[in-house]
Amino acid sequence: MIQELLDDAELRMDQGIEHMAGEFGTVRTGRANPQILHRIQVDYYGAKTPLQQLATFSVPEPRLLVVQPYDKGSMGDIEKAILESDLGLSPANDGQVIRLAFPTLTEERRRELIKVVRHMAEEGRIAIRHVRQNTKKHMEELHGEISDDDITRGEKALQDLTDRHTSRIDELLSEKEKELLEV
């Protein structure tokens, strides 16, 4: 019983970390990264469609991202969606591909982005603690069915699991901060 709860908690904590790492990937660092375009929705023939379903991405240079639409008729819609996004990028359309040049980040913008990723990391930690809290509650509900010693061991294992996952979040955060401060 306890092991099933721990396995479920670990799975949910892993999913939380994967989600947070994906969110980190959407933060612009001054280097071309196709992941930042994953949130963009394009109004394609009246339907909101994810950009990655409409085009391929390539990074020919560290500060250049090339978007090549499958349908050349969607170029204007893709360009409009990128302009309207909060990415702060200006698309250059040559009729075949859309080029996105990533300007170097100012020191002030780097500091703002560090605050954003720290907030994301804190949300990840909160999610991990929430999983721990729910699992601990389920363990305590087993109080009459299994011994107190088993519950105590399970809670200790749960805390170790929580500590491991929060330290992983801290590692990802420090990597992202280092990436943001890189000039």
- Specify which residues 58 forms β-bridges with: 66
- Domain with 73 in it: what CATH number? 3.30.1360.40
Q: What is the pLDDT along the chain (183 residues), one digit of tens a residue?
A: 889 999 999 999 999 999 998 888 777 676 777 888 888 889 888 889 898 899 999 888 888 889 999 988 888 898 888 888 877 778 888 888 999 887 777 888 888 888 989 999 999 999 999 999 999 999 988 888 888 898 899 999 999 999 999 999 999 999 989 888 876
Neighbouring-strand partners of residue 42: 49
Q: What is the CATH number of the domain that holds 133?
A: 1.10.132.20
* Whether residues 176 and 131 fall in one domain: yes
Is the same domain home to 129 and 89? no
**Domain of 127, in residue numbers:** 2-25+106-181
User: In this structure, which amino acid lies at residue 40?
Assistant: I
Phi-psi region of 53 (alpha: psi -120 to 50; beta: other; left: phi over 0): alpha
Q: Which domain-ending residue is among 68, 101, 134?
A: 101
Verify that 42 and 90 share a domain, yes or no. Answer: yes
